[in-house]
A and B are shown apart, each in its own frame.
Chain A
Amino acid sequence: MALSADRAAPEGFEDFFRSAWRELIKHAMVVGATRDEAEDAASQTMLEMLRRWPVQPHPLGYARRAVVSNYIKARTRGDQRIAQRLIERGHVPHQEGAEDSRLTASEDDEWAAGVLSLLPPAQREVMERITQGHSRDETLAVLGKSSETVRRNLCDARVRLRQLLHPDGELKQPASATARSREDAR
């Protein structure tokens, strides 16, 4: 489809973008993204929303969930490439690689939920709210816990989640290519 740059932006999109951009960057970073990763994920999210604008009924809630999903997608694509690379180099037998179809399923937020299930309960409780699109303030209100407790759990969850999504150590543990099996090995 040819897209013409002569078309005006859909009504309301620019205002939404300006009001939501920083929030999306912050949201992705809270989940564990670096600034660069957060910008990538936020850009992808905004582009998707632009192409289907108006996104209804909850554009900001949608955007928060999408930015987390896009961040995780980007990271897990790295996992997939690494898994494939391990197979190609013979570090992982092909059959084991074939079992890594779970990695290919990591394109979606359901897989993220599976990763979240590896977090300790208190951390998972907080991070689930964030990945579901709640802001930090909303999460505080929903959980009814002290601000300090939520912040600490969130911060710990962020570190833990980043470890789960980061392919560190795969050469040392080539047979443990999935996040769950890596966790089990610890």
Chain B
Amino acid sequence: MTRGEPARDALDAIDEAVARISDAEVDRHLAKILRQGGFRGSSVPFTEAPLRLKGSPGGHGPARLTRLGGWAAPLAAAAAVVLVVICAAAGSWLFRSLSSHPGDSGAPAQGTPAVSFTGAPAGPYAGVPAYYVEIANPSLAVVRATATGATLARIATRTPFAGVTGGADDRTFVLDAQRSIMGPAVRWPGHPAFYLLRLSSSGAEESFTRLNIAAPPDGAAVAGMALSPDSSKLAVALDTGTPGAPGLLEIRVYTLATGTFRTWSAHGLADSQAPEGFTGSGVDASESISWAADSRTLAFDVMNQNFTRGVRLLDTAASGSDLIADSRLAVTERDQGGREALTSKDHVSQCVTNSIISADGSAIVCGYTTDIAGRDTTTGFIRYSASTGKQTAVLGVHEFKGQAGGDISLYWVNSTGNILIGGVLTPGGIRVGVINGEKFTPLPGITHLGAAAW
């Protein structure tokens, strides 16, 4: 398209170009993606797609060189070589502490209840919950042992599971189930339903019952869910929007013993602080809202219309129902001008996962991904002080040589925010493991991981 071209022509040209994509071409791309992901197609023959010579339509390197300008060609070509090399190169996990603050050393705060895990694994997995629940597919949730990856229980459902969250006792989990309809936009007909899963000390299914709590509105989608550490309350972030009419953020906190609930919501689009229904990506399988150990302080991610992003803390025991006015901004990850709150030598800029507050309330942790001087890619986890909002540590940095996709997920943090369970997408596939300071210990038996809770 050239400048000055009538607007209709440009979009029509796109529509026409897309309409020319044949089913066979789509299948070739699908086959290629499946192969790259280590899967075989169920109905697509695994024949190699026609080889595209460099510089041909749809090719990679030379097209980029053209866009970069001829003088940049050697550099970009070198970068392309690096991209190839990193497919076989392993990254390295490093630990980099920023200026530490008193009280952020990882020591539990006084008066903070210790979280113990009966039967918790020892060795490299010491200090992390013994079990986790993974939504293996929409029809099946699986209980696994953290240290071995062994399957301990399977919970099947006819209404698809959508999310899962766990209490601090490593025995109590809540799953939500709701049908979705794929179309131009995803719709969520009906009401989300919540189920309480209790495990025995050996990780076997002890009970699985539907929670008797008021259902969210018809068509609402659960954008985030967090079971309080004492398993007495369930916080649910709801997206009540419909296709074409995005809803505002609403958080409900259910008291499970009584079924009663309180609601906090944003004002509306006229409010510059209104998060417009955003609670983190909600799709990276991470926790999107999280509780401190007091089971009253709830942390949630917000991004307002100025694209300021941060983490707010809501005292659910205090009065009020305004999600913004009745909460306080604890961490600003990115300000209105698009600048990061603190730039380290690694150019750590912002969180790309949802954030989790540590049980002692002292730290807020999230995952990030960025580049070092445009040459190397790093992914890792940032720890912020919940009291000062400052970064206090960059944990478990995974460093790639060259630029690589840096997808990252954060599933769990310990009581002080210095031991994490997270996942990083590397050129060789997803790596999920325990990050304890400078050490990354992969969790066995995980080849891909969607929604999961420890």
Judged by a CB distance under 8 angstroms, whether B64 is at the interface is: yes
Q: How many chain B residues touch A (Cβ–Cβ < 8 Å)?
A: 107
Q: Mark B275-315, 1 if CB is under 8 A from A, else 0.
A: 00000011111000000000000000000000101000000
For B407, list chain A residues within 8 Å (CB): 48, 51-52
Judged by a CB distance under 8 angstroms, whether A10 is at the interface is: yes
Contact partner of B57 (CB less than 8 A), chosen from A11, A35, A58, is A35
CA A75 to CA B79, docked complex, whole Å: 14
For A19, list chain B residues within 8 Å (CB): 182
CA A75 to CA B67, docked complex, whole Å: 9
Judged by a CB distance under 8 angstroms, whether A122 is at the interface is: no
Would you call B30 and A22 a contact (CB within 8 A)? Answer: no
CA A101 to CA B284, docked complex, whole Å: 26
CA A2 to CA B188, docked complex, whole Å: 36
Residue of B nearest to A180 (CB): B338
Judged by a CB distance under 8 angstroms, whether A7 is at the interface is: yes
For A62, list chain B residues within 8 Å (CB): 281, 283
Expressed in whole angstroms, the minimum distance between the Cβ of B388 and any Cβ of chain A is: 22
CA A55 to CA B283, docked complex, whole Å: 6
Judged by a CB distance under 8 angstroms, whether B221 is at the interface is: yes
Would you call A101 and B343 a contact (CB within 8 A)? Answer: yes
Residue of B nearest to A62 (CB): B283
CA A30 to CA B30, docked complex, whole Å: 22
Judged by a CB distance under 8 angstroms, whether B41 is at the interface is: yes
Q: How many chain A residues touch B (Cβ–Cβ < 8 Å)?
A: 90
Residue of A nearest to B10 (CB): A155
For B244, list chain A residues within 8 Å (CB): 134, 137-138, 141-142
For B186, list chain A residues within 8 Å (CB): 57-61
Provided the pairs A48-B425, A53-B450, A81-B68 are in contact, do residues A113 and B307 lie with their beta carbons within 8 angstroms? Answer: yes
Expressed in whole angstroms, the minimum distance between the Cβ of A62 and any Cβ of chain B is: 4
Judged by a CB distance under 8 angstroms, whether B114 is at the interface is: no
What 12 additional pairs, Cβ within 8 angstroms, besides A8-B39, A16-B182, A114-B307? Answer: A8-B40, A22-B19, A47-B33, A48-B407, A52-B430, A53-B450, A78-B68, A105-B370, A111-B338, A138-B185, A158-B10, A167-B68
The stretch that binds A, out of B69-77, B147-155, B209-217, B253-261, is B69-77
CA A42 to CA B21, docked complex, whole Å: 14
Would you call A36 and B349 a contact (CB within 8 A)? Answer: no
Judged by a CB distance under 8 angstroms, whether B36 is at the interface is: yes
Contact partner of A135 (CB less than 8 A), chosen from B36, B184, B442, is B184
CA A170 to CA B170, docked complex, whole Å: 56
Provided the pairs A51-B448, A52-B448, A110-B334 are in contact, do residues A57 and B162 lie with their beta carbons within 8 angstroms? Answer: yes
Would you call A159 and B283 a contact (CB within 8 A)? Answer: no
Contact partner of B33 (CB less than 8 A), chosen from A50, A103, A111, is A50
Cβ < 8 Å to B, chain A residues 3-59: 3-12, 14-19, 21-23, 25-26, 29-30, 34-37, 39-40, 42-44, 46-48, 50-59
Judged by a CB distance under 8 angstroms, whether B320 is at the interface is: no
Would you call B40 and A113 a contact (CB within 8 A)? Answer: no
Q: Mark B320-345, 1 if CB is under 8 A from A, else 0.
A: 00000000000000100111100100
For A53, list chain B residues within 8 Å (CB): 448, 450
CA A61 to CA B278, docked complex, whole Å: 13
For A36, list chain B residues within 8 Å (CB): 57-60, 63
Judged by a CB distance under 8 angstroms, whether B89 is at the interface is: no
Judged by a CB distance under 8 angstroms, whether A1 is at the interface is: yes
For A59, list chain B residues within 8 Å (CB): 182, 186, 283
Contact partner of A54 (CB less than 8 A), chosen from B27, B41, B138, B185, is B138
For A7, list chain B residues within 8 Å (CB): 38-40, 447
Would you call B180 and A57 a contact (CB within 8 A)? Answer: yes
Contact partner of A101 (CB less than 8 A), chosen from B347, B350, B375, is B347
Would you call B350 and A108 a contact (CB within 8 A)? Answer: yes
Contacts A/B (CB < 8 Å), 7 sampled = A36-B60, A47-B36, A50-B33, A85-B71, A107-B349, A113-B307, A141-B243
For A101, list chain B residues within 8 Å (CB): 343, 347
CA A50 to CA B14, docked complex, whole Å: 26
For B23, list chain A residues within 8 Å (CB): 18
Would you call A14 and B44 a contact (CB within 8 A)? Answer: yes
Expressed in whole angstroms, the minimum distance between the Cβ of A19 and any Cβ of chain B is: 6
Provided the pairs A22-B18, A104-B371 are in contact, do residues A110 and B38 lie with their beta carbons within 8 angstroms? Answer: no
Cβ < 8 Å to A, chain B residues 124-178: 135, 137-139, 162-163, 178
For A57, list chain B residues within 8 Å (CB): 162-163, 178, 180, 186, 188, 221-223, 282-283
Residue of A nearest to B17 (CB): A35
Expressed in whole angstroms, the minimum distance between the Cβ of A3 and any Cβ of chain B is: 3
For B138, list chain A residues within 8 Å (CB): 11-12, 54, 56
Residue of B nearest to A158 (CB): B10
The 8 closest A-B pairs by CB, nearest first: A3-B38, A80-B374, A114-B338, A155-B7, A141-B244, A152-B7, A113-B307, A105-B349
